[in-house]
């Protein structure tokens, strides 16, 4: 029986001024998935973790992605998948994207690499649609490709890998619930042109900073005048965490995905660890349980073993 | 008497999806300015062209910039300037910026290069304020620096040079009047978030395309869903020019500055010339006089002779 194990990394989407278009992959945490090819057209799901996610294929993120793969290839192929999640669902660091991207990359490997990267992204977006109601690729693309991904467009799909310096990433996940659908609903449908201009100055600066390896420019450009002021209200301690982390030397950061996790980028590992301490201080003081990851940008994406 | 001659290039601001933040310099046309240092605090202006621009310093773009320089340095220094404009005022290719940038670079040279680039831009923006009522730097910065300039912010000033491939630029100036202030007034103050997201995907793609030397990506990213649909109404023939130029092989383009000029980028000189033919065809058919420049990106900015 053909079988493969993959590691699917967590990701930070909505990269500050890059709402809906920019994401990056993390070296920690990552999900582990084992996929086996079946010779009948069905999907069997096993969970090897404590999250109690649905095992009905139509209700499971990896399941709907594998069903989409089956629909695309036809015939009698099916999949059995065992999922060991380490990226906590609802944390805002791409848990559903990891399930979706891990499933599609593993399936593609077992099928002899029949899909292009764009097709992999398209297929995996079915999982995001199930998880959040919206097809988006700013977690999926960096999860599959690694590094920083720009999703210029999803109709048609246009994904650009953005080379970046090896930055350190500190992520804090305060244990509160922010539903992606709620986080979307509170956004205003109309925004001020002057704010949009400032935002596209920043996203242009951020992309230039990544490509020019200019960490100071990256830092200056990590500003979001549109989404963050609204969504940060849903995250207790956000303003204080951000302020204190920047004072501790972080280049900058913001809400990871639609929250509640907050991420910060640093040039040095020591700074990233100091940032973690600052985050812990805030959440201990306001009495909210939290997890912290001190990691780096994952340059490989989903890895096959 | 200390004297200098400078060439100040035309510029394309509002570079499609880079409204208010991105501009590039042109090798043709350019203004010629001669500046002489005076030992009394006054500004004398001579025009050596047919445009009849004001010679009162307070009403002349170069004049207000030189007055701002004098205010900054104090003492008994003044300037006499002779301006030979080849960039037609009101054309949308940075005529006022060339006067302002040329004046400040020439003055700085005569004063022994006492100003930083940021200070030069700040001083020159006084000219834009006179010309259009708004301080903006997306003509000024590329005029001074050459190449493609990103103005991430003007408060505080943050200008980033964006390396770019050597592209060919075709500019058509239909002889109609579009006042910058009118072009600003018809813009909506509020825009849809979904349009803004598409725009910042495009500006990110455009900057990445320049930096990665990916002309196809540049072409795909040259899309403006916010400003162009409104402002293009003021420019007869715009849609047809754009469509035909792209069919002729241009990567893309749009309104230069606030119009009425239209610019197109091409990878090959032959294509740029073909694009010029296409532009002429449209304006001859609809009976509007026009000038065309077939040129390249100016990498040097204001040149001192």
For position B142, what pLDDT does the model report?
Answer: 98
Q: Please give the full DSSP string across B147-174, using - where no structure is assigned.
A: SEEEEEEETTEEEEEE-----EEEEEEE
Identify the pLDDT of residue B173. 97
Question: Which residues, listed in sequence order, are joined to residue B154 by a DSSP beta bridge?
Answer: B157
DSSP string, A159-173: EEEE-----EEEEEE
Q: Which ipTM value was assigned to this complex?
A: 0.95
CB B29 within 8 A of CB B10: yes
CATH of domain A168-296: 3.30.70.890
Mean pLDDT along residues A287-305 = 97
pLDDT value for B212:
97
Q: What is the pLDDT of residue B115?
A: 98
Q: Give the dihedral of Cα atoms B271, B273, B278, B283; nearest 10 deg.
A: 150
* pLDDT for A115 beyond 90: yes
Q: What is the rounded CA–CA span in Å between residue B166 and residue B147?
A: 9
* Residue B201 to residue A150, Cβ atoms within 8 A: yes
> What does the alpha-carbon distance between residue A162 and residue A184 come to, in Å, rounded to a whole number?
26
Instruction: Collect all residues of chain B within an 8 Å Cβ-Cβ radius of residue A18.
Output: 200, 204
Residues 77-136 of A with CB under 8 A from B: none
pLDDT at B132: 86
List, for residues B178-195, the tens digit of each pLDDT value.
877 778 888 989 999 999
CA distance A15 to A1: 40
CA distance, residue B226 to nearest chain A CA (Å): 9
B198 and A153 in contact by Cβ < 8 A? yes
What CATH class is the domain B3-163+300-304? alpha beta
Instruction: Return phi, psi of residue B75, to 5°.
Output: 75, -160
Question: Any CB–CB contact under 8 A between B201 and chain A?
Answer: yes
pLDDT at position A36 is: 98
Residue-by-residue DSSP string for B183-247: HHHTS-SEEEHHHHHHHHHHHHHHHHHHHTT-HHHHHHH---SSSHHHHGGGSTTHHHHHHHHHH
Provide the annotated active-site residues of A: 128, 180
pLDDT attached to residue B77: 95
**Residue A97: both structure tokens together:** 């994207």
A167: closest CA of chain B, how far (Å): 19
Distance CA A237, CA A235 (A): 6
What is the three-class DSSP state of A28? Answer: strand
Q: What angle do CA A14, A20, A26 make, to 5 degrees?
A: 40
Q: What's the pLDDT band for A305 if we cut at 50, 70, 90?
A: very high
Which pLDDT belongs to residue A179? Answer: 76
Residue A1 has pLDDT above 80, yes or no: no
Model confidence pLDDT, tens digit, residues A64-79: 999 999 999 999 999 9
SS3 of B26, please?
strand
- The beta-carbon neighbor of B211 closest among A192, A212, A217 is A212
Asked if A153's CB is within 8 angstroms of B201's CB, the reply is: yes
Q: Across the interface, do A203 and B204 touch by the CB < 8 Å criterion? A: yes
Tens digits of per-residue pLDDT, A5-53? 999 999 999 999 999 999 999 999 999 999 999 999 999 999 999 999 9
Q: Where in chain B is CATH 3.30.230.10?
A: 3-163+300-304
**For B61-75, b where at least 16 C-beta lie within 10 A, e where not — what string?**
bbbbbbbbbbeeeee
Greater pLDDT, A78 or B1:
A78
Q: What are the backbone dihedrals phi and psi of residue B167, each rounded to the nearest 5 degrees, phi first?
A: -95, 155
User: Average pLDDT over chain B, rounded to whole?
Assistant: 96
Q: Which residues of B touch A194 (CB under 8 A)?
A: 189
Q: Where in chain A is the domain with CATH 3.30.70.890?
A: 168-296
A154 touches chain B (CB under 8 A): no
B150–A201 C-beta distance less than 8 A: yes
pLDDT digits (tens, 9 = 90+) for A124-181: 999 999 998 888 999 999 999 999 999 999 999 999 999 999 999 999 999 998 877 7
> How far apart, in whole angstroms, are the C-alpha atoms of residue A206 and residue A221?
5
CA neighbor of B255 nearest in space, from B199, B172, B187: B172
Mean pLDDT on B40-53: 96
Beta-strand relationship, B157-162 and B148-154: antiparallel
Predicted pLDDT of residue B134: 85
Cα-based distances in Å from B277 to B72, B93, B110: 48, 20, 43
Count of beta carbons in the 10 Å neighbourhood of residue B296: 16
pLDDT of residue B177: 84
Contact A257, A180 (CB under 8 A): yes
């Amino acid at each position: 029986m053909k079988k493969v194990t993959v590691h699917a990394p967590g990701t930070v989407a909505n990269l500050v001024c890059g709402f809906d278009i920019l994401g990056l992959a993390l070296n920690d945490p990552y999900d582990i998935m084992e996929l086996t090819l079946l010779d009948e057209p069905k999907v069997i799901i096993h969970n090897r973790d404590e999250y109690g996610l649905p095992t009905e294929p139509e209700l499971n993120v990896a399941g709907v992605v594998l069903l989409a793969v089956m629909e695309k290839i036809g015939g009698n192929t099916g999949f059995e998948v065992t999922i060991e999640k380490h990226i906590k669902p609802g944390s805002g660091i791409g848990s559903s994207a990891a399930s979706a991207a891990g499933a599609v990359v593993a399936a593609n490997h077992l099928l002899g690499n029949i899909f292009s990267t764009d097709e992999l992204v398209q297929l995996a977006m079915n999982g995001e649609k199930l998880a959040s109601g919206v097809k988006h690729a700013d977690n999926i693309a960096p999860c599959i490709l690694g590094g920083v991904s720009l999703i210029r467009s999803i109709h048609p799909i246009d994904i650009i890998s953005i080379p970046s310096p090896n930055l350190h990433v500190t992520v804090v996940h305060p244990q509160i619930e922010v539903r992606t659908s709620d986080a979307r609903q509170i956004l205003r449908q109309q925004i001020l042109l002057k704010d949009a201009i400032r935002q596209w100055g920043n996203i242009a600066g951020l992309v230039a900073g990544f490509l020019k390896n200019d960490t100071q420019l990256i830092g200056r450009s990590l500003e979001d005048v549109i989404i963050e002021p609204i969504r940060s209200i849903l995250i207790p301690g956000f303003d204080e965490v951000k302020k204190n982390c920047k004072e501790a030397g972080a280049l900058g950061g913001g809400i990871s995905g639609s929250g509640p996790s907050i991420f910060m980028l640093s040039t040095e590992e020591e700074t990233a660890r100091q940032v973690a301490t600052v985050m812990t201080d805030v959440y201990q003081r306001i009495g909210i349980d939290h997890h912290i990851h001190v990691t780096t940008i994952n340059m490989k994406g989903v890895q096959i073993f």
